[in-house]
Structure 1
Amino acid sequence: MADTSKEHLLHLIKRLSHTISNLFESHSIGAVAGLAIAIFFTWRLLRSPGEPQRRQRKRQAATSSSPGVSTHSNASVVPSGVGSSSADSRAQNVVDELFQPVKPTLGQIVRQKLSEGRKVTCRLLGVILEETSPEELQKQATVKSSVLEVLLEITKFCDLYLMEQVLDDESEKRVLGALEDAGVFTSGGLVKDKVLFCGTENGRSSFVRQLEPDWHIDSNPEVISQLARFIKYQLHVSPVRSERAAANVFSAPSLEQFFGSI
């Protein structure tokens, strides 16, 4: 029974160690306070069985030394190790209830996925906007509602530049208006000066190379292929799965799916 008790205790220590690691990564003060409470109660539960056992031993000693007292009372003594096993079980229940696996926030997922990259460039068509061609922008510009949360998280810790090929000045105004209406500029992380426009696909590639980002996000496989040897990481956004252009190129059906937000 002593070996079983030790195994339970070692299991609890491993669980607490893993929990401590997760809590400090999440930077949650409340969770750390909860950990302190759990450790205290676990200690109490592990400690408490010893006291009744000591009192039981004292009573046994007193009984054996008193003449005329029946020794049959010893049959009611709790076997050694039973109380300890019960305490281990209760302590583990406390840990299980108070410390369920900590689910990372979207911000933590974004930072992890981007490998802590600090500068990101991203094309608009097919990634941020519903439209997929410059010709469509001459009629309308629509920001994907599903991408907004991820986009705002990126702007919180990354220097983000958005860029696109347009055919006229009206298209530029239409795109900026759509981004403004969607609230992209209200977070403070992205300003209109960081939305860049060009007349050709090569112009976008030139922007990216000049900015030297840690990540570039694009929906054009040719641009992705051209930039693979110049940019540290790239994300190819395409609803159709394609062959990986290079080891530093990742792919996903959408920006939000790459970060697992939907």
Structure 2
Amino acid sequence: MVDYSKEELAQLIKRFGAYLTVKMSNLFSISLENLDSRSVGALAGLAVAIFFAWRLLRSPSGPQRRQTKWQAPTPSSSGASTHSNENLISSGVYPSSEDSRARNVIDEFFQPVKPTPGQLVRQKLSEGRKVTCQLLGVILQESSPEELQKQATVRSSVLEVLLEITKYCDLYLMERVLDDESEKRVLLALEDAGVFTSSGLVKDKVLFCSTENGRTSFVRQLEPDWHIDMNHDIVSQLARFIKYQLHISSIRPEGTAPNVFCSPSLEQFFE
């Protein structure tokens, strides 16, 4: 194995340190109060990057250097090559492969860590542990009680988020229906989608009422940390009683209370 010369090693460490300083300054610009799992992951990545960089400096790639050492130089090129290398060392300019190896090690470990669906749910819900949620238009494809008299279909795109919420929160689903058959269709659709078997949700936490005011009463009695609904009037009425609400709407209506968030869909809110 061929080692770096002292001058070359010193220059490489200097260049590596400068590059690492930039990375660290970007990392520690995060305030402590905003420190989350991604920041902790970045700190861990920093430690691993330093370790690998240290290993890198100790064990430089050898094939090209061994070839250079053992290959007999021609008389015509020996002096020019030696003079050129001395100029490179004295000026601090080295082959790009040396810098790129250190850069690649750091960049690999400073890549943003994508939060898991469970982490996103906990972050977005601000540690809220009880959630109430309307079914129509949020969990189900249908948007009116009349449609539920014919069919009930769970939206496949919302399933992952729904299951994560049930793992972390005490979730209650509720909807206005026109008859008992609609209730059975909704429960069967949720069961077929695996909502009851893959999470902590049970059928007793799926509530039905005959009026919109009935849903409002359910929410007031349960006193959740979050309520999710499509009805603007219900959201407005509950704004002063519920800590947070998510209004499923493509636009944010004027005069919306500051504790009400808006999103086109439940799953997009957690993206």
Deviations 1:45-86 (A, max 9, x none): 45789xxxxxxxxxxxxxxxxxxxxxxx88864217456x98
Deviation at 1:135, TM superposition (A): 1.7
Deviation at 1:97, TM superposition (A): 2.6
2:139 aligns with 128
Give the 5 Å matches for 1:127-166.
127-166=138-177
Give the 5 Å matches for 1:60-139.
77=86, 78-79=89-90, 81-82=92-93, 90-139=101-150
2:37 aligns with 25
Deviation at 1:7, TM superposition (A): 3.2
Distance of aligned partners of 1:188 and 1:76 in 2 relative to their CA distance in 1, 3 Å threshold = closer
Give the 5 Å matches for 1:25-44.
25=37, 37-44=48-55
Deviations 1:7-64 (A, max 9, x none): 3342244467689x999816999x95x7654322212445789xxxxxxxxxxxxxxx
Query: Which letter maps to 2:229?
Result: D
| Correspondent of 2:259 among 233, 245, 248 | 248
2:242 aligns with 231
2:180 aligns with 169
SS of 2:262 mapped into structure 1 = strand
1:207 aligns with 218
Query: Which letter maps to 1:257?
Result: Q
CA contact (8 A) 1:12 1:92 kept: no
Mapped to 2, the partners of 1:230 and 1:155 lie a distance apart of 23
Query: Which letter maps to 2:37?
Result: E
Query: Which letter maps to 1:25?
Result: S
Distance of aligned partners of 1:237 and 1:192 in 2 relative to their CA distance in 1, 3 Å threshold = same
TM-score by length of structure 2 reads 0.73
TM-score by length of structure 1 reads 0.75
SS of 1:213 mapped into structure 2 = coil
Deviations 1:127-175 (A, max 9, x none): 1111111122112111111111111111110110000111211111111
Residue segments in structure 2 that go unaligned for 5+ positions in a row: 1-9, 61-81
Residue segments in structure 1 that go unaligned for 5+ positions in a row: 50-72
Mapped to 2, the partners of 1:166 and 1:157 lie a distance apart of 28
Deviations 1:160-195 (A, max 9, x none): 000011121111111101110111111132110110
Mapped to 2, the partners of 1:256 and 1:75 lie a distance apart of 61
Deviations 1:102-138 (A, max 9, x none): 1112221121111121110001011111111112211
Deviation at 1:94, TM superposition (A): 0.8
Mapped to 2, the partners of 1:127 and 1:75 lie a distance apart of 70
Matched residues, number = 233
Deviates more, 1:190-199 or 1:87-96: 87-96
Query: Which letter maps to 1:41?
Result: F
Distance of aligned partners of 1:36 and 1:9 in 2 relative to their CA distance in 1, 3 Å threshold = closer
SS of 1:79 mapped into structure 2 = helix
Distance of aligned partners of 1:236 and 1:23 in 2 relative to their CA distance in 1, 3 Å threshold = closer
SS of 1:163 mapped into structure 2 = strand
Distance of aligned partners of 1:243 and 1:159 in 2 relative to their CA distance in 1, 3 Å threshold = same
Query: Which letter maps to 1:132?
Result: S
1:8 aligns with 19
CA contact (8 A) 2:38 2:112 kept: no
Deviation at 1:98, TM superposition (A): 3.9
2:270 aligns with 259
